[in-house]
Amino acid sequence: MTTVWGLCLGAGLFLVWRSMWAGERAAHPRFSRWRANVADSLVQAGMPNVTPGALVAASVIAGGLVALTVGGLATSLPIGLCFGILAGRAPSALVAMRARGRRESMRTVWPDVVDNLASGIRAGLPLAEALSRVGETGPEQVRPAFEEFAQDYRATGRFADSLDALKARVADPVADRIVEAIRITRDVGGSDVGHVLRTLAEFLRDDARARGEIEARQSWTVNAARLAVAAPWVVLALLSSQPSNTAAFNSPAGLMVLAVGGAVTVVAYRLMVRIGRLPEEVRVLR
């Protein structure tokens, strides 16, 4: 009987803690914004079934395993923690790299999608049919998303809900603008949607061309900066192979060297990313 009461008490305390934590999350818009941005990056990286919580868990597990492994091999806990932190950043870096690569490839695709929609609307097709047609004749990269839109619309007949599902499925600011233009046209009417879409296609092509030229010129600078950031930690990994070297980092002075080096690395890398990367569009029409 005492065990049952103990389990009930533990379950009650857990539910109280859970409700307080959920309320705290709801009260902080930064957490919601971070969660939405991570979810968009996962969709853009081709991992729509992975949640932000699962990504955080993978980072913690990877960092812990690497920290224990390196710390045991090098017989130095501070060195193990340094490489554990680097390994914990790896899953998020992989997602960001894949998402950035997909966004860059999609910049050349969206103008063709807009042209396809504009031609369908100019031919007199209904808006839903023009969107569904992209799943058949549009670029290969976006066909699955528009095919699923057509399936949703045929199954439910709810145009607005199908548009919302399409936006969540693509998670791209350009797609948000296209979808909202289509939504406004259906809700309030208008004969200028074709002209708006053609203007948008021209703007997207000019933007992709300018971005491609700038990124080609600065790519070598960004890669050199990344190499400069990674070089000290490669040297530390090589030094860790000798027990006499790792013993020096177990002292207070060695801890200070690792802490200052880690802080400088983080600051330098963030400055490099901020200065060397072009601004990305945000999903204001999420």
- Label each residue of the chain as H, E or C: CHHHHHHHHHHHHHHHHHHHHHHHHHHCHHHHHHHHHHHHHHHHCCCCCCCHHHHHHHHHHHHHHHHHHHHHHHCCHHHHHHHHHHHHHHHHHHHHHHHHHHHHHHCCCHHHHHHHHHHHHHCCCCHHHHHHHHHHHCCCCCHHHHHHHHHHHHHHCCHHHHHHHHHHHHCCHHHHHHHHHHHHHHHHCCCCHHHHHHHHHHHHHHHHHHHHHHHHHHHHHHHHHHHHHHHHHHHHHHHCCCHHHHHHCCCHHHHHHHHHHHHHHHHHHHHHHHHHCCCCCCCCCC
- Which sequence spans correspond to the domains of the chain? 38-105, 110-209
pLDDT at 10 over 80: no
Structure-model confidence comparison of residues 278 and 26, the more confident one: 278
Cβ-proximal residues to 185 (8 Å cutoff; 6+ apart), any chain: 127, 193
**In this predicted structure, what is the pLDDT of residue 6?**
44
CB count in 10 Å sphere of residue 281: 12
Please tell me the distance from the alpha carbon of residue 47 to that of residue 39, in angstroms, as a whole number: 9
Rounded to two decimals, the pTM is: 0.72
pLDDT tens-place string over residues 140-193: 888 888 888 888 888 888 888 888 888 888 888 888 888 887 787 776 665 667
Average pLDDT, the chain: 77
Q: Is the pLDDT of residue 49 over 50?
A: yes
Q: Is the pLDDT of residue 70 over 80?
A: yes
Provide the pLDDT for residue 190.
57
Q: 164 and 81 in contact (C-beta within 8 Å)?
A: no
| Highest-scoring range by mean pLDDT, 13-17, 31-35, 160-164, 190-194 | 160-164
Taking only the tens place, the pLDDT of each residue in 231-278 is: 888 888 887 777 777 777 777 887 888 888 888 888 887 787 777 666
Name the pLDDT band for 23 (thresholds 50, 70, 90): very low
pLDDT mean over 218-236:
79
Could you tell me the pLDDT band of residue 21, with boundaries at 50, 70 and 90? Answer: very low
CB < 8 Å & 24+ apart, contacts of 181-184: 182/117, 182/127, 182/131
Q: Is the pLDDT of residue 95 over 60?
A: yes
**How confident is residue 85, by pLDDT bands cut at 50, 70 and 90?**
confident
The pLDDT score that the predictor gives to residue 284 is 62
What value does the mean pLDDT take over residues 126-148? 84
pLDDT at 244: 74
